Structure 1
């Protein structure tokens, strides 16, 4: 059940797609709910984000245990360097996004809960309805900025990642995308 040049393990493939698709959806919902002030989506966004963090953590542990997959073919040094940069950016951003989101919410006084299961109580302001008393406003603010910046960074890395996958599939015809879909390559 380990990765090789010709086939990735079912664990690697599953974690890649679960985390990738979940993050894409969370970023899209995050942009939508903030741009259009759809406050009803915030608890869902936070709950799903914390659940996905379990898979993100598992993916990071798995990647550390397995190491990076061997390239499916031989590439130019700049392609290999860009690939490493994009993969590291995606791995780091997938960790930073939920951690900064949890810090932003928890330390901002909004609490943390997963579909109603309270993990950290909110601290509502008794003098102002709908306002919270931050546990640590400055750190919550830094977490907020970090959450936004990492989302934008992840979007750029995602576009490069998908472009690279399509290049491998259609131009190089090297099997990289097939391998990421769980298929064996020659």
Structure 2
């Protein structure tokens, strides 16, 4: 089964963006580099939109058929990893928006206000719009980091296994634009 250009572009765009956001997010948390938050949040909102579009594309086009002779357990693992990744590419940025928006920090895309921040004019402090939503978003955003990293590692390892050991066209199918 040949993959559509749309599927390939969405896969490449979302995968590299998610990896970039993970790296910058971990860096920001470890070093308290607050100046990177607007970039992180802006790209996160854009990735969310692409990820939702990717879900609709996947529903419309269906899941690609496996190439080669994979065992039933390998097929089940691949399906689980693919479902996990596509779910987290939507849920992870959504949790960031829940954290930021619910926490009163607003949601912006490179300066364009989608949800205004909520500041007390006198004290200058941020006032949460909904502490429960902000807390759920925060907990998801932190808890899902190792899950997302693990799924990415398994996905890349599986792709490399197909390419190096099985010598099939799995990677070529995703990255060829003929």
TM bracket (short chain): over 0.9
1:92-171 map, 5 Å: 92-126=87-121, 128-129=123-124, 131-171=125-165
| Counterpart contact for 2:106–2:118, Cα < 8 Å | yes
1:77 matched to which residue of 2? Answer: 72
Match of 1:59 among 54, 62, 72: 54
Q: What is the SS of the residue equivalent to 1:47?
A: helix
| Counterpart contact for 2:105–2:126, Cα < 8 Å | yes
Structure 1: tracts of 5 or more residues without a match: none
Higher helix share: 2
TM-score normalized by the length of structure 1 = 0.91
Query: Is residue 2:82 matched to residue 1:87?
Result: yes
Runs (4 or more) in structure 1 with deviation over 6 Å come to: none
Choose between structure 1 and 2 for higher RCO, CA contacts under 8 A separated by at least 6 residues. 1
Task: Return the alpha-carbon distance in structure 1 between the equivalents of residues 10 and 116 of structure 2.
Answer: 31
1:32 matched to which residue of 2? Answer: 27
Q: Please report how far the alpha carbon of residue 73 of structure 1 lies from its aligned counterpart in structure 2 after TM superposition.
A: 1.5
Structure 2: tracts of 5 or more residues without a match: none
1:50 matched to which residue of 2? Answer: 45
Task: Return the alpha-carbon distance in structure 2 between the equivalents of residues 109 and 171 of structure 1.
Answer: 50
Alpha-carbon RMSD: 1.3
TM-score normalized by the length of structure 2 = 0.95
